[in-house]
Amino acid sequence: MNVRTTFALDEETSRTIKELAVAWGVSQAEAVRRAVRLVKEREQTLAPKTPLAVLKELRAQPIRSRTETIALVRQLRTERRAEDAAREDKLSRKKAR
């Protein structure tokens, strides 16, 4: 069911809606619906989560096996050492100048 609504928009917003409608190949009404939906989804992902919600998300994730954990730790250590070496090299070149 559609609800007809009237809004007073500034020229820039009106122009933006028309541009989006053309770019998306839809009506202006559909462009507004899509834009509102996109903003709502973005707001929901950016909304602060309660500690309980974060804990539930973490618990829902699959648990790594011991082998996977060891491999991940090795990979992270290797990356960290490479970054440390690059940083040391950069500092030594700066000091040499």
DSSP per-residue string spanning 36-95: HHHHHHHHHHHSPPPHHHHHHHHHHSPPPPHHHHHHHHHHHHHHHHHHHHHHHHHHHHHH
Instruction: Say whether pLDDT at 97 is over 80.
Output: no
| Reported pTM | 0.47
Which pLDDT tens digit goes with each residue over 8-48? 999 999 999 999 999 999 999 999 999 999 998 888 777 78
Q: Which of 55, 86, 26 is nearest to 17 (CA)?
A: 26
How much is the pLDDT for 72? 94
Average pLDDT across the chain, whole number: 91
